Amino acid sequence: VNLKPGEYAINFSSPTYAGRVWINGVLVSETGTVSDRKETFVPKTDVETVAFTATEQPTEFVIQRANYVHKQGGIGRIYLGSQDQILQFVEREEMKQVWEIGFLAIAGLFFFGVFLFFQGQRQFLWFSLACLMIALRSLFTWPKLIMLMLPDLDWGIGHRTEMSSMTLAYFFLLMFYDEAFRHTGSRIAKEIAVSACMASVLLVLFLPSLTYSYLTQILMYVDALALLVYFCFLFRGVIRRWHEFDQMEYMLLIAGIASASILSLADLFRYRISKDINLTLIGMLVLVLLTSMALVIGLKKTQDALDAAAQREADMKKVNQTLSELSRAKAEFLASMSHELRTPLT
């Protein structure tokens, strides 16, 4: 690469297998153990930023990869620029991911607390678990904040967690919508979607990485199709019983799942074209925001109902107290009259 003389840096994330990077013949990064034999090969994943100085001569980059754990593989994404550009870029991406994960984690913990307070309202539990699963997966996507927290994390545990957490998020969202819309969808479609999600998770957890990594894309399409069919039946049931639902609250729920579905499908179709924008995560953030608004509206109505019930109870107590006082007064009056009548007769 012909670069102007100056100070530069590259940022790159390694896939979950071993790799080395040389700049101008100098080894600047080694992730895992590169080997031409499976027995001595050690896979690992990491994100690194390496600074270097460019001279008048062309700058040579050499990337070596060893892969015995995936059916396919690539060199991962590489960003090249001045040191200030790369450092600011990495810091901005890390802060953006911190905000995304923080928002999802806070939403998850908040609605889990709501579930504990309102016993029996399982939709809050499902939604909180969905938020936490999306936050968990975000830790493993670029710029991989998990590597800052757990630099020695086993690559297999990390990769299986990343692959299965999003499927679990879909499963919890399915359960949430089924609960929120009072089981108006097709029971068979729900069972098929749940089975597809659970099968995907089990395959990722128990199959060798060489097998499940090859099936990942197929599993994503199968899960997406099963969920899409379920939501079609769900929306059909909602339309038929629309008069039973609060329109504002449920319109927000429908808008959330529609946004997430459209962006997730767009991400699937552009998966091999560009990875600069995570449309699935954006869709999930929109879904979480709209669903949170809908649940807050529901909480407000629940609180209003509780306040009304408390007011009725207070009014009933006042009525009972008044009746008790009247009964006591009547008893005192009758006792007094009985006494007054007995005295002259005696």
**Mean pLDDT (whole number) for 300-312:** 75
Q: What backbone phi and psi angles, to 5 degrees, belong to 67?
A: -140, 115
Considering the entire predicted model, what is its pTM? 0.78
> At which residue do the structure tokens 């949170």 appear?
292
| CA 34-37-42 angle, 5° bins | 45
**Residue reference for tokens 């991911």:** 97
Contacts of 254 (CB under 8 A, 6+ apart): 235, 238
In which band, very low, low, confident or very high, does the pLDDT at 329 lie, cut at 50, 70 and 90? Answer: confident
Mind listing the pLDDT tens digit for each residue in 229-253? 888 888 888 788 777 666 677 778 7
- Taking the CA atoms of 105, 108, 111 and 112 in sequence, report the sign of the dihedral they define: negative
Per the model's pLDDT, the better-predicted residue between 334 and 107 turns out to be 107
pLDDT of 16 reads: 65
Residue 201's alpha-carbon distances to 73, 130, 173, 226, in angstroms, are 22, 15, 15, 15
Question: SS3 of 9, please?
Answer: strand
pLDDT digits (tens, 9 = 90+) for 127-178: 899 889 989 988 888 788 888 888 888 888 888 998 899 899 889 988 988 8
DSSP codes joined into one string, 60-73: -EEEEEE-SS-SS-
* Token representation of residue 175: 């359960």
2 CB neighbour count, 10 Å cutoff? 8
Q: In the predicted model, what is the mean pLDDT of the chain?
A: 82
What is the structure's pLDDT at 193? 92
**Residue 229, C-beta contacts closer than 8 angstroms, at least 6 positions apart:** 189, 192, 193
- Kindly list the distances between the CA atom of residue 24 and the CA atoms of 28, 33, 50, 283, in Å, as whole numbers in the listed order: 10, 21, 13, 42
pLDDT over threshold 80, residue 210:
yes
Residue pair 230/189 in contact by the 8 Å Cβ criterion: yes
pLDDT at 272 over 60: no
Helical pair 279-345 and 83-117, crossing angle rounded to 10 deg: 30
pLDDT on residue 340: 67
